[in-house]
Structure 1
Amino acid sequence: MQGPTGTSIINPAVLGKAADVRQEFVSAPPFPHVVIDDFLAPDFAQSLLDAFPAFERGNAMGDNGELGGKSTVDKVRGLGAAYQRLDDAIKSPEFLQALGTMTGIDGLIYDPWYLGGGTHENRNGMALDPHVDFNYHPSERWHRRLNLIVYLNPVWDQDWGGCLELFRDPHADHRPSRSVSPVFNRCVIFETSEVSWHAFDAIRLPPEHEGLTRRSIALYFYTKDRPAEQTASRHTTYYVNRQLPAHFAEGRVLSRGDLAEMKHLLEMRDGHIRMLYSENTALREAQDRGLTGHLLYLAKRAYVRFRR
């Protein structure tokens, strides 16, 4: 059963230093964020891991419409008592107030649909390019303000990759400003904005651990308003392909590892281009359907004929 308040899932030691957490959050480069170890009450964190869904249970469809190495479950209440308790807690006024105290963002709203969130699981070889997230809730007029990620990996080494990366500007920077290993019960909270560039590097598990996966719970929070200087037109998630590593320089003799890395980067870029072409085609097909599409067709036809 849930404790007396929604904050019962949080480690009391974290609640006791909320002011320090807030100071770290607002002052951290490259954009407001904080990393908190042992974030959840230990027994509760373990119960979430114990009830974490099997990879095959989740949605493993990639952005390109093909089955991939990432699986997500957004219907968290169907995952058992531990996840029901999580859901009850994070929508409570006590939890939202505590999160607001730790970040300085008031009026936070819980997303009952977990759009884009829920449980996330990534297999060996997976990576995520730098991106900024969609900035409005897809169905509500809410501004997306915070990402809260809790990692559930009791066995993990930073050398295995899968580290959350925070970038100042991925268009220019070869390396992230900060890299965070996804170890068990570590929480990362960061402000969602037009400059909150984040990613994770490729998972590279050693042979003796190749059956492991990278597990996390992603929670997103919104507000009805946000400061005008931070407000932008509605957009979807915006990706940037990684830059070539700095060691790819004139005169360097490429190793086998260098060639593999370059091939991987080109494959990621090609995949991104294919996805954009697919989205463009889908938009054009939607545009061509219905009355608006027909009127647009007639207008284009008239324009072409007039030019001749």
Structure 2
Amino acid sequence: MDIINKENLIHALTKFQEGKPFHHCVVDNFFTKKIANELSDEFLEYKSEKWFSYLNPLEDKKALNDWNAFPQLTYAVFNYLNSRSFIDVIQKYVGTELFSDNGLHGGGWHIHGRGGNLNPHLDYSIHPKLLLQRKVNLIIYLSPDLKEEDGGHLGLWNSDSKEEKPTTLAKEISPKFNRAVIFDTTQNSWHGMSRPLSHDRNMLRKSMAVYYLCEAKEGTSPRQRALFAPRENQIGNKEIEDIIKLRSDVKRSHSVYKV
């Protein structure tokens, strides 16, 4: 069974290390058309109780990484994306030996509804169980009805490494159906939704996410939770600052997943 359009993937990966503000590439028509449509149809209903919800001023999304909840095709595709044969293709262009995370920690299915949001953030650095460093994100968008004006764009930010914060928005990537984005998470890689989803239509932003790991080098940040930044209209807001601190704390982050 042909799952991905390998030529599209390799063509995009040849430009991976040219990506700015950090290494990345965009792969259109990532899956074969049939696979993409079937994967989109397999997503659970937004109201399903199986989703884990994040609902606070920094993020409004739902996620699911339980393999037992995935339908047959979704299960098979996640298995393929974590296979050695697929990872070998990516690591050739990334230039670092990569390892799978079969537990899909932080990955799996993601879904945003009306008004869905994800502030600029840095991903966790060290995997809490494997103690390897998170190196590469693969995100594939699977909402055929999502329009440009609906928002939900992936933003990539320039940054101030000394003050650990994003500065200017460098690039926006529309969550076009069957579009994949692959990016390096170790280069002060501030990313998130540059535009929250519109409130005007009852649409969904569906995506699959797989993360690849590498050996952690000496001096690597020990961060085990995402570090968020305020949006412009949240700067100086003490409540937001407190939530950001709690959200990045391993022992206390669960207290602010839902506020």
TM-score w.r.t. the length of structure 1 is 0.71
Match of 2:205 in 1: 214
2:51 aligned residue:
59
Amino acid at match of 2:169: P
| Equivalent position amino acid for 2:44 in 1 | P
| Residue of structure 2 equivalent to 1:180 | 173
Counterpart of 1:113?
103
* TM superposition shift of 1:113: 1.3
Secondary structure at 2:61 match in 1: strand
Aligned-pair identity (%) = 26
How many Å separate the matches in 2 of 1:272 and 1:36? 35
Query: Per-residue deviation at 1:266?
Result: 6.6
**8 Å contact 1:37–1:187 — kept in the other structure?**
yes
Separation of aligned partners in 2, 1:128 and 1:234: 19
Partner of 2:136 in structure 1? 146
Residue 193 of structure 1 pairs with residue 186 of structure 2: yes
- Deviation of 1:222 after TM superposition, in Å, equals 0.6
Contact 1:241 1:269 in 2 (8 A): no
User: How much does 1:88 deviate?
Assistant: 2.3
Corresponding residue for residue 100 of structure 1? 91
RMSD between aligned alpha carbons?
2.7
TM-score, normalization by structure 2: 0.83
Aligned to 2:230: 241
Q: How many pairs does the alignment contain?
A: 244
Inter-CA distance 56–195: structure 2 relative to 1 (3 Å threshold): same
1:12 aligns with 6
SS in 1 for 2:47: helix
Letter paired with 2:66: K
- List runs of 5+ in structure 2 lacking aligned partners: 253-259
Higher helix share: 1
Q: What is the one-letter code of the residue matched to 2:226?
A: T
CA contact (8 A) 1:12 1:41 kept: no
Alpha-carbon distance change, 101 to 268 in structure 1, aligned in 2, over 3 angstroms: farther
Which gives a bigger RCO, structure 1 or 2 (Cα 8 Å, sep 6+)? 2
Report matched runs for 1:218-297 at 5 Å. 218-223=209-214, 225-228=215-218, 231-243=220-232, 262=233, 265=234, 270-274=239-243, 276=245
Note the residue ranges of structure 1 that are not aligned, 5 or more in a row: 244-261, 284-308
Alpha-carbon distance in 1 for matches of 2:221, 2:119: 22
Q: Measured at CA, do residues 35 and 153 of structure 1 come closer, stay the same or move farther in structure 2, by a change above 3 Å? A: same
Task: Give me the whole-angstrom Cα distance separating, in 1, the residues matched to 2:174 and 2:120.
Answer: 16
Does the C-alpha gap of structure 1 residues 185 and 131 become closer, same or farther in structure 2, counting only changes over 3 Å?
same
Determine the C-alpha separation between the residues in 2 that align with 1:72 and 1:278.
16
Cα offset, 1:78, TM superposition: 2.5
Partners of 1:168 and 1:266 lie apart in 2 by 17
2:17 to 26, 29, 35: 26
- Measure, in 2, the Cα distance between the counterparts of 1:183 and 1:242: 24
| Distance (whole Å) between structure 2 residues aligned to residue 267 and residue 216 of structure 1 | 32
Q: Against the structure 1 CA distance between its residues 110 and 172, is the aligned structure 2 distance closer, same or farther, given a 3 Å change threshold?
A: closer
The correspondence for 1:168, drawn from 158, 164, 170, is 158
User: Which deviates more from structure 2 when the two are superposed, residues 88-97 or residues 269-278?
Assistant: 269-278
C-alpha contact (below 8 Å) 2:228/2:244 kept by paired residues: no
Q: Which has the higher strand share?
A: 2
1:77 and 1:273, CA in 2 relative to 1: closer, same or farther beyond 3 A?
A: same
